[in-house]
Amino acid sequence: MAVTAFILGLLVYMGFRVFAGALYTVKPNERAVLTSFGRAQRIGDSLVTDDSLNDEERQRYQFPVLRTIGPGGPYFKWPWQEVHKVDVATQALDVTWDPTKRQSTIEAVTKDNLTTGVNGQIRFRASENNLYAYLFGIDSPLEHVMGYFVSVLRERIANFVDPKGQSLVGDGEMQGEEGSGPAVDLSEGVSINDLRKNLPLLNDYMEQQCRSTGTRYGIELDAALITQIDPPTEVDRALSAINSTRNQVAADISTARADAEQQITMSKRAVEIASNNAQAEVAPLRELGETLINIKSAGGPESLRAYLRNMRIPLLKQARRIVQVTAPNR
């Protein structure tokens, strides 16, 4: 009798434990994946696709599409099944996060061989379309994505030059073509100054370069927020001196350009005045010529000689000496 009661009690306890553990719920910010004997439920033979991957990456990252369980419940599962819940809400994390060590900034080397510190944040979320990679493909997907992000960031800082308003990503680079570099390879400036001036472009570049992390590692990068690039103190002082000198040179150039424009304007005005004076002197001579032509046309050569004789009389009255030259005989 006692043995029978013990067995009945054990069965009731096991039934209660199985029933209590068979029900579960999924929160609004969660998605769940159910596995049976360790195998996740899949949707046919479908694979996760991404047009941003090249052919080599498509061969490497082939993950099946899983059947996900949305928010709600209670749901039922058998004892041999296991529920894997994933938080799909957007989260923020410092770029200095590294589970293997403590650090306050990320060191990166610029094109000028200067070591600078970089700080900022990234916003990310688990990819609902590729939960297999997030749950089963990689042991620590967030750590993997952070390492990938920092590697791309250091590579870009090491080669960064001022794009002068152009995009940092060339068309060939967007399509994954080999040998295609950045859109421009430009100015000779101080790299840290260029980086500080173009932080929005740098953030856009990082978002574009990391857009395939959802397919690779199951984590989608929502935004990159690089907010601070600090060189060493002595380098910062040198940069301040360089900036001051550049500002002074720019001011001197502006002043010289204004003086030159003023001189050009004054020269144009002087030329205009001289031209008007010359025209004023030529006008009476032209009028006299037209008058002589009209006299000769109306009265003939005799009238012209009479006019010249009459015009010569006032001049002879004013003259003190007259020199008469005889024309040479021909």
For the cut 90, the answer to whether the pLDDT of residue 139 exceeds it is: no
pTM of the model: 0.60
For the cut 80, the answer to whether the pLDDT of residue 203 exceeds it is: yes
C-beta separation of 44 from 64 below 8 A:
no
Q: How far apart are CA 49 and CA 216, in angstroms?
A: 10
Strand partners, 87: 30
- What is the model's pLDDT at position 273? 95
What sign does the dihedral 145-130-225-91 (CA atoms) show? negative
For the cut 90, the answer to whether the pLDDT of residue 268 exceeds it is: yes
Q: How far apart are CA 152 and CA 307, in angstroms?
A: 99
Stretch 284-308: mean pLDDT = 88
Find, among 57, 92, 55, 85, the residue nearest to 71 by Cα.
Answer: 85
Find, among 164, 90, 92, the residue nearest to 125 by Cα.
Answer: 90
Q: What confidence tier does 190 reach under pLDDT thresholds 50, 70, 90? A: low
Q: Which one is predicted more confidently, 197 or 328?
A: 197
- What is the model's pLDDT at position 172? 53
Q: At what angle do helices 141-158 and 199-209 cross, to 10 degrees?
A: 130
Q: Residue 289: phi, psi to the nearest 5? A: -60, -45
Q: Residue 257: phi, psi to the nearest 5? A: -65, -40
**E strands, the chain, in order:** 23-26, 30-36, 39-40, 42-47, 64-66, 68-69, 72-76, 81-87, 91-94, 106-109, 115-126, 219-230
Q: Could you tell me the end-to-end alpha-carbon distance of the chain, in angstroms, rounded to an integer?
A: 171
Stretch 110-129: mean pLDDT = 87
Q: What confidence tier does 240 reach under pLDDT thresholds 50, 70, 90? A: confident
- What is the model's pLDDT at position 263? 94
